[in-house]
């Protein structure tokens, strides 16, 4: 009898765990959309599906080169897309929803300090050992909640990316929205004193960043003070939920 009771208890616990995971998956399936279904004019360059990223390998959880967002974030991004299209631009997406398995991959990579294959491209001014303490790599990401997007602008006239004066995922103050200018006023100052190597961006490059910023902020997104490309929906529907559903169509 005692063995039977124990087995029943284990079965109940197991079933409860399955139900909890199933419920979370159901919420994901009903609350997320493929970004290009909602924003058909967006261009995708999903960096974590390929190898041109700071890790140098495809990131765990990225099963297809697509992008997912919550329905609310996607609807707001459609408004941004329409707005910039009228100005001659399209949105180019580097990343959107990111599964927790992808974040865990970043953490494992950062802990492997000798692996610096992509240092020259993304963090030449930093020793890899400081990535945790300087918050370039963290165990949790807003992307995993599903309403954050990394993006830039594509100029339809030149058929090229708009020159933002720095690459996506560059680890350094050069990526900050206030680098060489004041993002609150849009004023270019040219102040590059925060750059450890005296790097700089031009007035036009700063203004290009501000075009993207103004479009996103005026349509319900909020910025990040360390990345010009990163924006989160102000009223995100899952502010405390971190999903681990793979990125797939």
Catalytic residues: 227
Q: How many residues in total does the chain contain?
A: 249
Question: Under DSSP, is residue 232 helix (H, G, I), strand (E, B) or coil?
Answer: strand
Handedness of CA 150, 156, 161, 162 (dihedral sign): negative
Q: For residue 233, count CB atoms less than 10 angstroms from its CB and return exposed for 0-12, middle for 13-18, buried for 19 or more.
A: buried
Distances (CA, A) of 102 to 38, 61, 140, 238, 240: 24, 6, 10, 18, 18
194: left (phi over 0), alpha (psi -120 to 50) or beta: alpha
- DSSP letter for each residue of 39-59: -TT-EE--TTTSS-SSSSSPP
Residue 35 CA to residue 146 CA, distance in Å, equals 11
Q: Are 64 and 36 in contact (CB under 8 A)?
A: no
How many Cβ atoms sit within 10 Å of the Cβ of residue 29? 9
Token pair for residue 128?
Answer: 């890899």
């Amino acid at each position: 009898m005692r063995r039977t009771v124990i087995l029943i208890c284990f079965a109940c616990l197991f079933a409860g765990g399955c139900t909890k995971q199933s419920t979370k998956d159901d919420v994901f399936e009903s609350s997320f959309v493929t970004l290009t279904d909602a924003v058909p004019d967006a261009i995708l360059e999903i960096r974590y599906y390929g190898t041109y990223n700071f890790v140098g390998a495809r990131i765990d959880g990225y099963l297809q080169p697509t992008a997912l967002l919550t329905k609310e974030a996607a609807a707001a991004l459609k408004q941004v897309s329409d707005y910039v299209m009228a100005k001659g631009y399209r949105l180019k997406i580097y990343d959107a929803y990111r599964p927790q398995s992808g974040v865990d991959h970043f953490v494992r990579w950062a802990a492997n300090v000798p692996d610096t294959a992509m240092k020259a491209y993304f963090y030449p001014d930093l020793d890899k050992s400081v990535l945790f303490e300087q918050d370039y790599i963290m165990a949790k990401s807003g992307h995993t909640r599903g309403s954050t997007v990394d993006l830039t602008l594509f100029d339809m006239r030149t058929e090229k990316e708009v020159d933002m004066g720095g690459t996506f995922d560059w680890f350094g103050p050069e990526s900050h929205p206030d680098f060489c200018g004041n993002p609150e006023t849009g004023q270019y100052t040219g102040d590059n004193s925060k750059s450890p190597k005296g790097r700089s961006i031009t007035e036009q490059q700063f203004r290009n960043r501000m075009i993207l910023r103004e479009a996103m902020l005026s349509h319900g997104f909020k910025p990040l003070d360390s990345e010009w490309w990163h924006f989160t929906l102000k009223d995100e529907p899952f502010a405390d939920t971190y999903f681990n559903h793979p990125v797939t169509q």
